[in-house]
């Protein structure tokens, strides 16, 4: 079955290294918590809030083992008044045996506000 796995995290500053570090952490949490491997990923969409332009978050995935052939696209999030600032959002489309209820969507930092209903408070994330 093909499933979408969502994730979002925030950074403190519009700095290249922060964006790359948080993006690596986000994809790491998504693949670990859902037992997904790069070969099972069809593609990844990453969006950033309009205030993040220091680097392309997709760069973070290129150095990760097995991700060099996974298609990744970056885009800017719609600039809605009151939208979450300094936010990186990710949609991983992957083949998995997990049901929709079993999929673990990952939200960290201020991004937990986006979908508090999907945040598992008992399992801290690696977002740093």
Catalytic: which of 17, 62, 85, 102?
A: 62
The C-alpha torsion from 118 through 113 and 108 to 24, rounded to 10°, is 100
Is 87 part of the annotated catalytic residue set? no
Catalytic: which of 77, 85, 95, 101?
A: 77
Catalytic: which of 6, 15, 101, 110?
A: 6
Is 39 part of the annotated catalytic residue set? no
Distance of alpha carbon 35 from alpha carbon 78, whole angstroms: 31
Catalytic: which of 3, 40, 59, 74?
A: 74
In sequence order, the β-bridge partners of residue 6 are 91
User: CA–CA distance from 59 to each of 2, 30, 31, 63, 116 (Å)?
Assistant: 25, 17, 17, 8, 28
Catalytic: which of 15, 85, 95, 115?
A: 115
Is 69 part of the annotated catalytic residue set? no
Is 89 part of the annotated catalytic residue set? yes
Is 115 part of the annotated catalytic residue set? yes
Active site residue ranges: 6, 62, 74, 77, 89, 107, 115
């Amino acid at each position: 079955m093909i499933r979408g796995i969502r994730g979002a995290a925030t950074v403190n500053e519009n700095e290249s290294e922060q964006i790359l570090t948080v993006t690596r952490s986000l994809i790491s949490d998504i693949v670990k918590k859902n037992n997904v491997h790069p070969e099972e990923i069809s593609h990844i969409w990453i969006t950033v809030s309009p205030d993040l332009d220091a680097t392309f978050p997709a760069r973070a995935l290129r150095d990760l083992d097995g991700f060099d052939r996974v298609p990744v696209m970056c885009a800017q999030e719609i600039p809605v008044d009151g939208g979450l600032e300094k936010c990186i959002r990710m949609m991983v489309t992957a083949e998995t045996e997990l049901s929709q209820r079993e999929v673990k969507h990952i939200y960290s930092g201020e991004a937990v506000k986006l979908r508090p209903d999907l945040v598992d408070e008992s399992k801290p994330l690696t977002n740093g």
